[in-house]
């Protein structure tokens, strides 16, 4: 009476399945992928897949749960400290590590949009969506407020609204990117424009 396979093996397997799932979701989107797609991509049987995940929803949540993790780990103050300025910290939240506008977009973003929009009438998913929104919005607002206290920002508008504004705009870019493609929307230029608006709206010193 002992575990049949090692814990590491199980985790490996799980990760392998998650990776296959990610590829499939990126390729087909959330609604259009089936468990069979994932099975095939991972080279595993029906039973093998269901051993680890109860259904597509479970699988997808596991996937986007892991990504979320990374962001939470680092505490906010430490992050601001590390970035050197509140402005840089702010840019980091929506531009990523490079802090530079690019034409690149999280390849899983379209599926996430699908997942939350399609599930907007489901209590569970809606709660989840709210959590994510509140988290993103919360981080942004906190950085802005800290920046004000540090004398780095002297905003012309309500920080609360500015924070929400950033989130909504980033979501908008994700949508348009998903629907018509990055080549059609001038993603980079639009992002640069957002930055200019923010610089003015926050009245960034320095």
Crossing angle of the two packed helices 7-28 and 56-73, in degrees rounded to 10 = 100
The verdict on 41 binding DNA (CB under 7 A) reads: no
Q: Which does 68 bind (CB under 5 to 8 A by kind): a copy of itself, DNA, none?
A: none
* Pattern 112-131, a copy of itself, x by CB under 8 A: -xx-xxx-xx----x--xx-
List the one residue from 48, 96, 172, 181 that touches DNA (CB under 7 A).
48
Question: In angstroms, how far is CA 104 from the centroid of its own chain?
Answer: 13
The verdict on 100 binding a copy of itself (CB under 8 A) reads: no
- What's the token pair of residue 8? 């590491």
Q: Which does 71 bind (CB under 5 to 8 A by kind): DNA, a copy of itself, none?
A: none
What dihedral angle (degrees, nearest 10) is formed by the CA atoms of 163, 74, 145, 81?
-130
d(CA 88, CA 35): 41
d(CA 162, CA 106): 23
Question: In angstroms, how far is CA 71 from the centroid of its own chain?
Answer: 9
CB atoms within 10 A of CB 26: 15
The verdict on 177 binding DNA (CB under 7 A) reads: no
Binding site for DNA (CB under 7 A): 1-6, 9-10, 13, 34-36, 44-48, 50-52, 54-56
Binding site for a copy of itself (CB under 8 A): 28-29, 31-32, 110, 113-114, 116-118, 120-121, 126, 129-130, 133, 156-158, 160-162, 164-165, 167-176, 178-180, 184-186, 189-190, 192-194, 196-197, 200-201
């Amino acid at each position: 009476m002992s575990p049949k396979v090692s814990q590491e093996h199980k985790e490996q397997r799980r990760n392998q399945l998650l990776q296959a799932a990610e590829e499939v979701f990126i390729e087909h989107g959330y609604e259009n992928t089936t468990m069979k797609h994932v099975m095939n991509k991972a080279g595993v049987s029906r039973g093998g897949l269901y051993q680890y995940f109860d259904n597509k929803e479970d699988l997808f949540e596991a996937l986007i749960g892991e990504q979320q993790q990374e962001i939470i780990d680092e505490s906010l103050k430490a992050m601001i400290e590390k970035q050197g300025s509140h402005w840089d910290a702010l840019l980091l939240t929506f531009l990523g590590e490079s802090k530079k506008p690019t034409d690149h977009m999280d390849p899983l973003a379209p599926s996430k949009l699908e997942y939350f929009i399609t599930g907007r009438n489901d209590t569970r998913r809606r709660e989840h969506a709210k959590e994510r929104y509140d988290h993103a919005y919360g981080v942004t607002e906190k950085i802005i407020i800290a920046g004000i206290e540090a004398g780095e920002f002297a905003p012309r508008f309500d920080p609360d609204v500015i924070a929400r504004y950033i989130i909504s705009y980033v979501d908008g870019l994700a949508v348009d990117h998903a629907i018509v493609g990055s080549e059609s929307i001038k993603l980079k230029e639009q992002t640069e424009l957002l930055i200019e608006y923010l610089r003015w709206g926050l009245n960034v010193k320095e």
